[in-house]
Structure formats: C-alpha cells, structure tokens
Amino acid sequence: MKRVYYLVFFSGIFLLLLPYCYTDKKAWHKGNIMPEGFAKLTRQDQVLYCAKCHQQEYDNEMKGPHANAYQRFQQHVAFVNSDKYDCAWYTASVNKKKGECVSCHTPQDLFQTVFEKRVDNMDPMASLRANIKPFPPPRVAESSRSTSVDCISCHYDGQSILATNSKPHQLFNAPECNPKDNPIMSSNMTCYPCHWDAVNTLLPDAARLTVKDAKCTSCHMEHDAKGNVTHYTFWKHDSPDKHNVLIERIVDDFSVNINKDGLAEITWLNTAVPHELAPGPEMIFKCQLLSQDSNVIGTKVVRMNLKKKIDTEMAEVFGTKILGGVDGDPPKLDHTPLKYTFDVKNTADAKMMRITLIKKAQHWFPDSLGIYKTERVIGLQRPL
C-alpha cells in the first residue's frame, strides 16, 4: 500500500517538473532566450520579429500612443519652429530641452535601465518611488528611434520576455519567446517611468467604481469580449475603428438643471478619472443648452486642465512669461461635484444640453488644434 502512495507522490512530482525538463534549460533560466542574431537586428526588425507571432498586439500597438510617440514629438518640435507658431521664447525652450524630452518618447529598454536589478525587490514600488522621476535614458542612434516606445522597451530584460501571467503551457508552445512572469510587469510600475504622476496619485477605491482591478491597463487598454486585453491603448488620436470607453465615462459624469436663482447649472461629479492628469493635455466640454426645437439658448465652456498648477510650477523655468490657454479645473478626486452656472435667455424653454468634447494635447496651444472626440445630448434634470 505504502508503495502506491510513493508511486503517486513521485509521479506527481515528475508531472510538475515535466515542463522544466522539456524546455531548453538555457531558455528557461539564464542566458538570452532570443534566437541568435536577435541583438544584431535593427530595432524595426526586432519589433517585426514579435509581430510574426503576436499579430493582434502588433496591429493594435501601431494604432496607439506608444508606437507613435517619437513621431508626435518630432511634429511638435517642427510645429513650434514653423511660421504657423509665434512664441519665440517657448520655441527656444523646446529646442533647448529636446535632448531630455526624448527619454520618454523613444526610451532605452526599461528592464535594462530603470528597472535593472529591481526585479527581485520585494517592494518595487517603494524603491522606485524613492527615485522620484526615474526617466529612462533615450535611445541614441537616430535610426533606432522611429519605433518610439516599443515591445522591447517594455517586455525585454536582455535575456527574457517579461509577462504578467504567463501560463505553464506556454513553456511548450512558446519556446521562441518563453515569457517569464515579472512582479513589476504585473504592477502599475511598468507605466511609472513616464507616467509617474498618474501612478503616484491613483486612488484604488475611485478606480474600482468602474473596474474590478485598480490597474492602469484595466481602463486604458481595450479588452475583447472575453475580457482579455487586445493591447490597444486609448488616446487622444484614437483610430476610427476603436471606441474609446473612457470618453463615454467622462461625459456620463455631467448633468444639468436650472437652479433656484434661475440660472442653468452644470454639475460635473467625477467618477471616471481616478488620478491626477498629466501637465499638458486639456479636455474642452462645450455645453450648449437647447430648447425643444434644438435652438441654442445658452452656452458654457468647461475646461479640464492643470493650467493654474503648471503656470505656478513653470514660473521657475519661464520667469514672468506665461504659457497661453484658459484656466480650467482638474478632475476632483474626492467625490465632490464641481458646479458651473450660466445665464439662459428663457429658462422655461430649456429642455436638454448638448456636450461636445474636444481633446487637446497642450492646453497652451490654440483650441483649433483640438481633436473632436464625441458629442452627446442629455436631458435637463428638473427639480422635483
């Protein structure tokens, strides 16, 4: 009888070890698992190597912000240096900073630079946060820059492909990339080197109002019907075939009524955004109060930006010069509403409000550079 137990016990262990026996030891542990010659490929060909087997991830990545970050940055530099832009001191400041800017727009591999040697740290969050703004160093060779923030920047430590929840069966069917789980990759820290403001200020409870996991990717990456990420990241220049759910959630937070003073009153109760925003972007909510037959009877423009904060912070750099733009409000993270009132010709006519949402990359640039995101008509909430 005892023998049977032994047999069951040892065959159990054998089965558990099987995956390790089957894969190339070099691939599973130390040593570079990428095929010989991978290191010598151009950056573009390294990304295309991943694309060979991860077509969906590649296609979606190409439509998102990270694969286009270097081109967008170059367009910005070209724009401020063109005749279309007329603010010499800002242009001079961008030209001076160019070398530092590129660190996030075309970075060296995170796991071979900022995350190096921190992989086994029990608390990667604490050790990284101690290094307040751990910008990754930029890639130097101009020819390597066009892939911007790419697969290799986020997933490769020089030896292995890093993943969040690779499954045992992948040891059999993915010898070519042999993903290895990594604690930083599974946390929001992957985003930290370039989005430290959002990571530092994220309120998990606020995030869980809309998603199960308080993860950056839960909200910012598209998910398919089965709930798996498709690797598309929503952004201001969304591809026309993508439906940005975040934009809908933001507009959902707006309501309108006529208050006791006879003024139209917009209430913005933020439930969509669980963290502070980046310094640059702006959302413009053009709110038009409409009558039954859709005549505009009052208009209010609400702006979501960090202009007041940035102007104060940038005083150190820019002195008395102030960037353009119009003051707005950051989204409130304490679940209290913001209210905006405005005059209406005849309150009795008010029936609904049309919200047109425009997103701008820089609040200090003219509104004409904004990108149309969505339009929604909501009914007026009459007090009971």
User: Is the CB of 2 or the CB of 96 nearer to ligand HEC?
Assistant: 96
> Which of 50, 171, 264, 266: binder of ligand HEC (CB under 6 A)?
50
If you search the block for the tokens 């990754």, which residue do you land on? 136
CA distances for 308 relative to 52, 65, 199, 316, 363, angstroms: 47, 26, 21, 14, 11
Task: Give the binding range for ligand HEC (CB under 6 A) out of 23-31, 50-58, 333-341, 349-357.
Answer: 50-58
Residue 284 CA to residue 356 CA, distance in Å, equals 8
**Angle at Cα 65 formed by Cα 310 and Cα 150, nearest 5°?**
115
Question: Under the criterion CB under 6 A, does residue 328 sit at the interface with ligand HEC?
Answer: no
CB of 286 to ligand HEC, least distance (A): 17
- Residue 199 phi, psi dihedral angles, 5° rounding: -65, -45
Q: Which stretch binds ligand HEC (CB under 6 A): 17-25, 189-197, 261-269, 347-355?
A: 189-197
Find the binding residues for ligand HEC in span 266-305 (CB under 6 A): 272-275, 277-278, 280-281
Using alpha carbons, list the distances in angstroms from residue 95 to 80, 100, 149. Answer: 9, 10, 21
- As a whole number of angstroms, the distance between CA 19 and CA 45 comes to 30
63 binds ligand HEC (CB under 6 A): no
69-98: contacts with ligand HEC (CB under 6 A): 69, 72-73, 76, 94, 97
Q: How many residues bind ligand HEC (CB under 6 A)?
A: 83
| Among residues 166, 184, 328, 353, the one that binds ligand HEC under rule CB under 6 A | 166
Question: Counting contacts by CB under 6 A, is residue 174 touching ligand HEC?
Answer: yes
65 sits near ligand HEC (criterion: CB under 6 A): yes
Among 23, 63, 107, 138, binds ligand HEC (CB under 6 A): 107
Q: What is the token pair recorded at 373?
A: 């995101």
Q: Which helix (H) or strand (E) holds 299?
A: strand 296-304
Contact status: 199 vs ligand HEC (CB under 6 A): yes
The least CB distance from residue 355 to ligand HEC, in Å, is 14
* Complex with ligand HEC: residue 232 or 340, whichever CB lies closer: 232
Q: Does residue number 49 form part of the binding site for ligand HEC (CB under 6 A)?
A: yes
Which residues are CB-contacts of 121 (< 8 A; sequence separation ≥ 6)?
127
Q: How far apart are CA 295 and CA 289, in angstroms?
A: 8
Residue numbers 343-362 binding ligand HEC by CB under 6 A: 361
User: What's the closest the beta carbon of residue 52 comes to ligand HEC, in angstroms?
Assistant: 5
Q: Does 249 bind ligand HEC (CB under 6 A)?
A: yes
How far is 35 from 175, CA to CA, in rounded Å?
A: 10
Measured CA to CA, the distance from residue 19 to residue 170 in angstroms comes to: 9
